């Protein structure tokens, strides 16, 4: 028998250790594969759910202002929140998957990721070149030649930068007459001129467009190293309102020059002794786009401390035309037959009428209240919603066409449906108690003299919209902003807010960045003649940018 030498013993020990390491590696590999499979399943499920929700949201958005607007608006908000959580979960799952891949030598599975939208071309690019090797990583030779490069782009943000602009006016003296000459001081948007137009526009837009009160802005500026007192900011806001008054006057004249307006109002808490009182913010909207009108859209806001009839009567003094609004009695003053120069024609909103039936036929809302669907859902209300939805379906198809085309389509397609709806509701109401909730919903359209005529006025005029949703959308931002600024500090503060909303919302309606527009207007106003002021209106300013870019 051969004697085992020490060298062979060491080799056998090394072999046993290598086999043990191999078994451990196989076990780790199996665990990694399991982890990868689990991660892949999670990612795949999240991807599928996100695509499903995106399709649902896209479909609901198309129908948002259609036959189920109330329910769709609620579902869209819920789906968007769910989608946000799922996409956040997906990012976390992908990070876990990448970490698992780095622990194993097994080739990672192929995931179909959506193509990322490239970053905008106008953004500046900063090249950060990774240090190149000086020799071949394989043989160590120094004879290496560049054959190309791979570029990975990462979006980064630079914190806001503050600067002080020094305007220097040099003085000169004449050797002959000893007279001193100096260029005149430049004009500034506001008195004393300590704030530039971009700073002023930022303060205005954050306060009225982003609903950030001045005290919060002052706190943020202080953290950035620039201390500006609240009173100083407030002083500049008031000065800007005075400077922008000519632009507001032009927008007001443009809105009240329309033959058809949308009108609506919303509540605004107003600071008062011992608490707050409920004030009102009114909007009057000109939007001719639904009937392919050529006039640009614009919005005019007004503030009042209450909701009395005298306010819309004063706001629309001297104006005649068609007013699209809800059935609020406060507008009766402008509908008065004795009004001078002429009474305003009323066109009521079908969304408001439909909503009263919808509330009685909302199955999901009834179920949430713990009630029996069979007992609570009204088949008559459900039938009314279906009939009104059929009218909305036709209206969606003719939105954006000319007034003549809309009128012809309504005569052929919509008028028969409206007449059938009228006869059916009359017959159903005759069989109901006056206390029946459905009877009250029907009476909303017939109760007062002439109300049905106001609901059906759209049939004979292609310019009239079926709903007043445009005005409601114009007030949506204010409803959201109330949660941030809580209340208006004074009636003058409410009037100033209405003033600025008119400018900002009009800019948005014309697809103009409100902050950029305000900055440019404030910079150019001091040197602008009255005859050229219309050039600064949002719709003219936008066209100027397009021509310049071309």
Rounded distance, CA 523 to CA 189, Å? 6
Does residue 200 sit within a domain?
no
Q: Does any domain span residue 87?
A: yes
pLDDT (0 to 100) of residue 542: 61
**Residue 97 forms part of a structural domain:** yes
Reference 93, options 28, 38, 53, 51; nearest CA is 38
| C-alpha to C-alpha distances, 157 to 130, 161, 202, 224, 287, nearest whole angstrom | 21, 11, 18, 15, 37
Stretch (H or E) spanning 281: strand 275-286
Asked whether residue 211 is domain-assigned, the answer is no
Q: For 106-115, which contacts have Cβ atoms below 8 Å and span 24 or more sequence positions?
A: 106/29, 106/32, 106/33, 106/36, 108/36, 109/36, 109/40, 111/40, 111/43, 112/47
CB 255 within 8 A of CB 284: yes
- Looking at the 3D structure of the chain, how many domains does it have? 1
- Give residue 255's pLDDT: 97
Distance CA 404, CA 461 (A): 8
SS3 label, residue 271: strand
Amino acid 361: pLDDT? 82
Specify the pLDDT at position 268. Answer: 86
Q: How far is it, in rounded angstroms, from Cα 440 to Cα 381?
A: 11
Peptide bond connecting 341 to the previous residue in cis, omega within 30 degrees of 0: yes
Residue 265's pLDDT is what?
93
In a domain, residue 48? The reply is yes
Say if residues 195 and 234 touch (Cβ distance below 8 Å): no
Q: Is residue 341, in this structure, part of any structural domain at all?
A: no
Cβ contacts of residue 407 below 8 Å, gap of 6+?
460, 461, 462
DSSP-based three-state secondary structure for 269: strand
**For 278, phi and psi rounded to 5 degrees?**
-90, 110
* Domain presence at residue 92: yes
Residues of the chain under the 50 pLDDT cut = 1-5, 65-67, 104-109, 367-368, 372-375, 543-550
Q: Is residue 501 part of a domain?
A: no
d(CA 21, CA 286): 78
Q: What is the pLDDT of residue 107?
A: 46
Bridge partners (DSSP) listed for residue 268? 279
Instruction: Give the per-residue pLDDT at 106.
Output: 44
Task: Name the residue with tokens 């399709």.
Answer: 55
- pLDDT for 102: 53
Tell me the angle at which helices 437-446 and 350-361 cross, rounded to the nearest 10 degrees. Answer: 170
Q: Which domain holds residue 90?
A: 26-101
């Amino acid at each position: 028998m051969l004697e085992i030498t020490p060298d062979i013993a060491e080799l056998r020990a090394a072999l046993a250790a290598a086999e043990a390491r191999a078994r451990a590696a196989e076990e780790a590999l199996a665990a990694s594969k399991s982890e990868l499979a689990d991660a892949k399943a999670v990612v795949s499920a999240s991807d599928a759910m996100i695509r499903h929700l995106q399709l649902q949201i896209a479909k609901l958005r198309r129908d948002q202002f259609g036959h189920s607007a109330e329910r769709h608006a609620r579902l869209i908000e819920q789906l968007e929140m769910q989608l946000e959580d799922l996409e956040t979960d997906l990012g976390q799952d992908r990070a876990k998957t990448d970490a698992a891949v780095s622990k194993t030598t097994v080739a990672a599975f192929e995931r179909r990721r959506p193509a990322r939208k490239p970053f905008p071309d106008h953004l500046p690019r900063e090249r950060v070149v990774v240090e190149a090797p000086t020799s071949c990583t394989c043989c160590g030779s120094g004879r290496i030649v560049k054959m190309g490069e791979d570029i990975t782009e990462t979006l980064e943000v630079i914190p806001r930068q503050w600067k002080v602009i020094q305007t220097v006016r040099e003085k000169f003296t004449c050797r002959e007459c000893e007279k001193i000459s100096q260029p005149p001081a430049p004009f500034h948007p506001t008195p004393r001129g300590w704030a530039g137009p971009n700073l002023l526009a930022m303060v205005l837009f954050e306060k009225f467009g982003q609903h950030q009160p001045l005290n919060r802005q002052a706190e943020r500026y202080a953290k950035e190293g620039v201390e500006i007192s609240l009173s100083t900011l407030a002083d500049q806001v008031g000065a800007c309102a005075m400077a922008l008054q000519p632009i507001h006057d032009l927008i007001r004249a443009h809105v009240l020059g329309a033959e058809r307006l949308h009108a609506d109002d919303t509540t605004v808490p107003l600071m008062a002794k011992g608490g707050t009182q409920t004030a009102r913010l009114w909007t009057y909207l000109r939007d001719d786009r639904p009937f392919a009108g050529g006039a640009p859209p614009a919005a005019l806001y007004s503030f009042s401390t209450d909701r009395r009839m005298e306010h819309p009567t004063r706001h629309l003094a001297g104006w005649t035309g068609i007013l699209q609004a809800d059935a609020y009695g406060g507008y009766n003053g402008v509908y008065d037959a004795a009004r001078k120069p002429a009474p305003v024609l009323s066109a009521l909103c079908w969304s408001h009428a439909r909503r009263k039936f919808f509330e009685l036929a909302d199955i999901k809302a009834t179920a949430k209240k713990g009630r029996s669907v069979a007992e609570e859902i009204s088949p008559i209300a459900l039938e009314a919603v279906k009939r009104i939805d059929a009218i909305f379906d036709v209206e969606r198809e003719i939105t954006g066409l000319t007034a003549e085309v809309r009128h012809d389509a309504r005569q052929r397609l919509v008028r028969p449906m409206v007449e059938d709806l009228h006869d059916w509701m009359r017959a159903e109401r005759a069989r109901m108690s006056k206390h029946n909730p459905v009877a009250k919903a029907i009476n909303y359209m017939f109760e007062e003299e002439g109300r049905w005529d106001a609901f059906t006025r759209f049939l004979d005029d292609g310019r009239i919209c079926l709903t007043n949703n445009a005005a409601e959308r114009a007030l949506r931002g204010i409803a959201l902003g109330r949660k941030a600024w809580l209340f208006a500090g004074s009636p003058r503060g409410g009037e100033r807010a209405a003033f600025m909303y008119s400018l900002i919302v009009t800019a948005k309606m014309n697809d103009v960045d409100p902050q950029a527009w305000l900055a440019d207007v404030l910079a150019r106003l001091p040197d602008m003649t009255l005859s050229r002021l219309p050039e600064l209106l949002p719709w003219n300013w936008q066209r100027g940018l397009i021509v310049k870019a071309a």
